[in-house]
Chains A and B, each alone.
Chain A
Amino acid sequence: MQLFLSQLMNGLGNGVIYASLALAIVLIYRTTGLLNFAQGEMALFSTYVTWKLVDDSEMGLPVAAAIGISMVIAFVGGALIERVVIRPVERSSPLVIVIVTIGMFLAINSIAQAIFGTDTKQLPSVFSDAAWVVGGVRVTAQTVGLVGVLAAECLLLWLLLQKTRVGLGLRAVASNPDSSRLVGIGTGNMLMLGWAISAALGALAGAMIVPMTPGLSAGSMQAVLIYAFAAAALGGFDSPLGAVVGGIIVGVAQALAIQYVDPLNDIELVVPFALIGGVLLFRPTGLFGRRVVERV
């Protein structure tokens, strides 16, 4: 039982990480109807910025402050990317946009390496390394902190989308761009805002993810991105709540599978995709999704 609970905690810790990147994916999908393959690499770049702000001898900022600053930089960067890179192909076929985000994926990854170097960096966690034993199960401050950050993130997103004028505009544009323009919403600005927020969320996710991995390097985000996609698909691409639940399910299922199903060792990737396959057979829109997704 204790083993089960501690695996559950492990899974939760990983799941929250997948969920945090999945949220960024869902946000862009909700506002623009696009799947951004460069999401992980945008987060990677922002995390390098965070690392630089912490590591640089002159700046040497505390981690939390560095994350805040890099989120702001990512916000601006995301808006710029939408305006400069995505805007010219906004009305092209989905496949063309997929190729453009793939181009971005390659470009951002290699530019990050050229600027920050190819060696592995260490980014300290924003949380202390304290741990408590509750009912025989080890609970780390890291996991608690991650859950807290994700919960706060979800709450803020929900407030933004459901309770503000801008949120209303974002949702309107996502659902029906033509009608939104007819009521006077500047759709371009909304798309830009969606990318900006999503990039900032990615920056936060990156800074949460890296301290739990062996270090920050060019490939840091790619495996996580696959799990995040899985989480988003499982929950439904248009549902932030779905992204969180999907992320946690993927993380927990993976941890339990590794522990209890011996043949799955080293191929635990089977788990999220078996889950997706299973869910989609019964609910083609994901667990919480509403729209049937036809576009790529």
Chain B
Amino acid sequence: MKSGPGARRALLIRGATTIAVVGVLCWLPQQYGPTETTLYAEALFIAVAAMGLNLLTGYNGQVSIGHGAFFGLGAYATGILMLDHGWPFLATLPVAAVLAAVVGAAVGFPALRVKGLYLALITLGLAALFPALVNKFVKSTGGTSLVQLYRVRPKPPEWASSFAAAEDQWRYYVTLVVAGVLFALMVNLVRGRFGRALVAVREHEAAAETLGINLARVKVSAFAISALYAGVAGSLAALVRLQANAGQIEVFQQSIIFLVAVVIGGTATTLGPVVGAFVVVLLQDHTADLIKDEPTLSPALFGITLILLMYVLPDGLVGGCRRLFRRIRGRMHAGSATDSAPT
């Protein structure tokens, strides 16, 4: 481990960055109107889902392209409880979380036998199946499977009126707090014993087993926790969008968006999924604006940007920055004779 002035400086830089990022995130709704605020809230809940998927795919190496199903599960849990049973939003969050985690664990068990491509396929099946199940079994008010929450939307409380008088602001801050708590938990999780076990299993299952790691427990837990994050994200999405919906294409695209956010941000980094989520959401929004006359072309622009990003930064934005940072520091070290600490 490092110590001394270098480490203290790194700690200072990290602390200052954290404060700056939190500051910016708190300030966004004060600066921007409802459209942008909702967009940033969207980035926040996608970041939550991406954090969960990163645990599974980035740290544990299990690829899922079906997390849209867990996301949808969370959204519907919240939607139905709020609309049909009159629950307040915050009370629905734990239900959505537990439900998604249980289903996630149930999917994680067969996943023990199946690896790589086949696992991706099974999860794809999940994404394809979920909308069919919803359309068959969910009959909300109005007879369709679309759950509209406009009538029961939460109002900002009195005490928050100084900073969140508008509903979109209040929804943003609720999302921000939940996302912040989940982020802190995730950082703790991956830096601890469990995180090391995840990586060991990803790198070499047999070797991990000889270290006394219970493969089944680690892999199923990773699935359950990542599903939990996706479920909470879905729940937040129902709050922000004021509806729960599950078209076949949407669930598939949602799953893809999570994966894209993870890879664009940088797999197996703590900050990557958050950065990736913001980039993806803003990119989609901007590419939609860019071509006014041809709205059909905006996904093309988004797709091509994705491909180009992968060319330039195959290890994601956070990975790329880290590489750049190391190179600069390496050069600085090489430049000064006094500061040539061994690496």
A interface residues with partner B (beta carbon < 8 Å): 35, 85, 88-89, 92-96, 98-100, 102-111, 113-114, 118, 219, 222-223, 226, 229-230, 233, 237, 265-267, 269-270, 272-273, 276-277, 280-281, 284, 286, 292-296
Contacts and interface: CB of A to CB of B under 8 A. Distances in A.
Contacts of A293: 115-118
Interface stretch (B41-49, B186-194, B299-307, B323-331): B299-307
The 8 closest A-B pairs by CB, nearest first: A106-B303, A273-B125, A107-B303, A103-B306, A110-B299, A110-B300, A103-B307, A103-B303
11 contacts: A95-B63, A96-B314, A99-B310, A103-B307, A109-B300, A222-B248, A233-B121, A269-B125, A270-B132, A276-B121, A294-B115
A89 B128 contact: no
B263 interface: yes
A115 to B, nearest CB: 9
Contacts of A103: 302-307, 310
Contacts of A107: 299-300, 303-304, 307
A104 B307 contact: yes
A276 B115 contact: no
Interface in B151-197: none
Given A35-B120, A222-B252, A233-B121, A96 B303 contact: no
A89 B312 CA distance: 10
Contacts of B121: 229-230, 233, 276
Contact of B110 (A109, A229, A277): A277
A151 B132 CA distance: 33
B63 A296 contact: yes
Contact of A114 (B126, B259, B264, B297): B297
Interface string B107-126: 00010011111101110111
A270 B120 CA distance: 16
Contacts of B304: 103, 107
Chain B at the A interface: SS class: helix
Contacts of A281: 110, 113
B292 interface: no
A95 B115 contact: no
Contacts of A113: 296
| Most chain A C-beta atoms within 10 Å of own C-beta, residue among B113, B121, B122 | B121
Contact of A106 (B132, B259, B263, B302): B302
A284 B114 contact: yes
Contacts of A237: 117
Nearest to A118: B296
Given A99-B260, A105-B303, A107-B300, A280 B118 contact: yes
Contacts of B57: 95
Contact of B296 (A102, A114, A267, A272): A114
A233 B118 contact: yes
Contacts of A94: 116
A35 B117 contact: yes
Interface footprint category on B = 35 or more
Interface of B: 57, 63, 110, 113-118, 120-122, 124-126, 128-129, 132-133, 135-136, 248-249, 252, 256, 259-260, 263-264, 267, 294, 296-300, 302-307, 310-311, 314
Given A95-B63, A95-B267, A110 B120 contact: no
Contact of B122 (A93, A102, A276): A276
Chain A at the B interface: SS class: helix
B303 A269 contact: no
Given A99-B260, A113-B296, A284 B310 contact: no
Contact of B260 (A102, A110, A284): A102
B117 A296 contact: yes
A267 B133 contact: yes
Given A113-B296, A230-B121, A280 B259 contact: no
Contacts of B248: 222-223
A100 B306 contact: yes
B296 A99 contact: no
Contacts of B132: 266-267, 269-270
B263 A96 contact: yes
A84 to B, nearest CB: 10
A88 B308 CA distance: 10
Contacts of A270: 129, 132
| Most chain B C-beta atoms within 10 Å of own C-beta, residue among A107, A111, A230, A265 | A107
Contact of B118 (A99, A267, A284): A284
Nearest to B253: A106
Nearest to B297: A114
A272 B125 CA distance: 8
Contacts of B128: 226, 269, 273
Contacts of A100: 306-307, 310
A99 B129 contact: no
Contact of A92 (B114, B135, B306, B310): B310
A270 B129 CA distance: 7
A231 to B, nearest CB: 11
A85 B135 CA distance: 38
A152 to B, nearest CB: 28
A269 B129 contact: yes
Nearest to A219: B249
A103 B135 CA distance: 28
A215 to B, nearest CB: 17
Contact of A292 (B110, B115, B314): B115
Given A85-B307, A269-B125, A272-B125, 18 more contacts: A35-B120, A99-B260, A99-B306, A99-B307, A100-B310, A107-B299, A107-B307, A109-B300, A110-B296, A110-B297, A222-B248, A222-B249, A222-B252, A230-B125, A233-B118, A276-B122, A281-B110, A296-B120
